[in-house]
Amino acid sequence: MRKIFDESNCDKCENVDCLTRCQWMEFSDVEEARVEKTKMINGEESRVLSDCVTCFACDEYCPYESHPFDLITELQEKYNSLNINPGILESTIARFAPHDQLRLKEIDPDKPVLNKCGLGKLNAKHMEGQLFENLQYVSGLDFFCNLMYHHYGRDSIIKERAPIILENIKAQGIKEMICYHDECYGFYASFCPRNNIDLPPGFKAVHIYEYLYKYLKEHESDVKKLGMKIAYQRSCSNRFIPEVDEWADKVCNLIGVERVEREYDRENALCCGGLFATLGKKALGRKTQNDNINDMIEHNAEACVYNCPMCMESLGSKVGRKGLKNYILSDLCRLALGESIE
């Protein structure tokens, strides 16, 4: 379990890994990074706040598991550091708001429930086949985690809506929820606990990879090894829950997929760059994507594999033009079970 956020832990971090390991910010030396960190601990404005690309990697780099990005995004909101177009921000906040009244579904509380999220239509084609056909589910904005506002420097929106989403889960009687996205699982497994937001009594969140692995193990005789080399694209929210990366490896091993050892993977992963243009960093976004995709090719990957459909939306066409295929990991599992995903 990740530790609850504690700003005081930052004072103990002599190597300032949360800043010096950042792949998008440069510091002349460790002392400069320490000066900028001290400003933030004191609630002051720092260049870190505007230079940040909101990839969340600093959370994984912190040796004290203090979740420094929570401090960064709190100050980004205070100083409006990301300077996102107000119209884009306001329309996004309004578009993804939960409804005033929840429409209850008939579910069996003793069985797991798949959360298709507020992006259910975007994900629909990835939630077909035997892996999903017998699962009861909920979907829509009433169960949308809103963790996307971490990227917009608006944590107040997440905290404002968290009690509504959790009350909806309680009202629906959900005890075990399978989360299709890292963000969704990260909300329940990391964001709520570290912000002292209580989950409904008896509630358990399950990551989709854990579900996939257990399902495939139960049907292992039906699994045909794919014999494929892939580059795995970690999502930003995976940084809060790095233990999930181990589930990705277990699923890949089970279906006969080799996750190539490349430079920009695991702790050194590059984000998809999907929000860089919104943050006014379009050129940096192009360089990041090119570096990432060239790294995949140099290490002989045949395909890029994602958990996040938005990552695939951002990188997919560029990956395809370089001759690589694009897959959501659950789709590879369907292929290994002999299904068509066309």
Any idea what the Cα angle at residue 98 is, between residues 97 and 102, rounded to 5°? 165
Would you state the torsion angle of the CA atoms of residues 179, 182, 185, 188, taken in this order, to the nearest 10 degrees? Answer: -150
Side-chain half-sphere of 78: how many Cα atoms within 13 Å? Answer: 13
The one-letter amino acid at 88: I
- Based on the fold, state whether residues 17 and 114 are members of the same structural domain: no
Structure confidence at residue 191 (pLDDT): 96
- Based on the fold, state whether residues 95 and 200 are members of the same structural domain: yes
Structure confidence at residue 119 (pLDDT): 72
- H or E stretch at 250: helix 244-254
pLDDT tens by residue, 176-232: 999 999 999 999 999 999 999 999 999 999 999 999 999 999 999 999 999 999 999
pLDDT tens by residue, 27-65: 999 999 999 999 999 999 999 999 999 999 999 999 888
Q: Both tokens of residue 47?
A: 């260049």
- Based on the fold, state whether residues 175 and 240 are members of the same structural domain: no
Q: Which residue has the tokens 């949308």?
A: 144
Residue 157 lies in a domain: yes
Q: pLDDT-based confidence at 13, cuts 50/70/90?
A: low
Statement: residue 3 has pLDDT above 80? no
Longest dimension (CA), the chain: 59
- H or E stretch at 259: strand 257-259
Structure confidence at residue 58 (pLDDT): 95
Statement: residue 5 has pLDDT above 50? no
Residue 1 lies in a domain: no
Residue 314 lies in a domain: yes
Domain count for the chain, please give it: 3
Statement: residue 8 has pLDDT above 90? no
Structure confidence at residue 1 (pLDDT): 30
Q: Both tokens of residue 224?
A: 């045909």
CATH number at residue 290: 3.40.50.1860
Structure confidence at residue 125 (pLDDT): 87
Q: Both tokens of residue 172?
A: 């629906």
Query: Mean pLDDT over residues 318-329, rounded?
Result: 97
- Based on the fold, state whether residues 192 and 147 are members of the same structural domain: yes
- Which of 18, 45, 79 represents a domain boundary (last residue)? 79
pLDDT tens by residue, 128-138: 999 999 999 99
Rounded Cα distance between 190 and 183, Å, is 10
Q: Which residue has the tokens 């510091």?
A: 27
- Which of 212, 245, 260 represents a domain boundary (last residue)? 212
pLDDT tens by residue, 58-116: 999 998 888 999 999 999 999 999 989 999 999 999 999 999 999 999 999 999 999 99
- Based on the fold, state whether residues 144 and 52 are members of the same structural domain: no
- Based on the fold, state whether residues 318 and 272 are members of the same structural domain: yes
- Based on the fold, state whether residues 176 and 257 are members of the same structural domain: no
Q: Which residue has the tokens 């999903």?
A: 132
- Which of 38, 54, 79 represents a domain boundary (last residue)? 79
The share of the chain scoring above pLDDT 90, in percent, equals 89
Residue 2 lies in a domain: no
Phi, psi of 181 (to 5 degrees): -115, 155
User: What pTM does this model have?
Assistant: 0.93
pLDDT top residue among 4 and 165: 165
Structure confidence at residue 201 (pLDDT): 95
Q: What is the mean pLDDT of the chain?
A: 93
Structure confidence at residue 2 (pLDDT): 34
- Based on the fold, state whether residues 311 and 226 are members of the same structural domain: yes
**Domain range enclosing 281:** 220-336
Query: Mean pLDDT over residues 136-151, rounded?
Result: 95
Structure confidence at residue 118 (pLDDT): 79
- H or E stretch at 325: strand 325-328
Residue 341 lies in a domain: no
Structure confidence at residue 341 (pLDDT): 86
Would you state the torsion angle of the CA atoms of residues 78, 80, 84, 86, taken in this order, to the nearest 10 degrees? Answer: 80
Rounded Cα distance between 270 and 293, Å, is 10
Residue 250 CA: distances (Å) to CA of 211, 245, 276: 12, 9, 32
Residue 175 lies in a domain: yes
- Based on the fold, state whether residues 319 and 245 are members of the same structural domain: yes
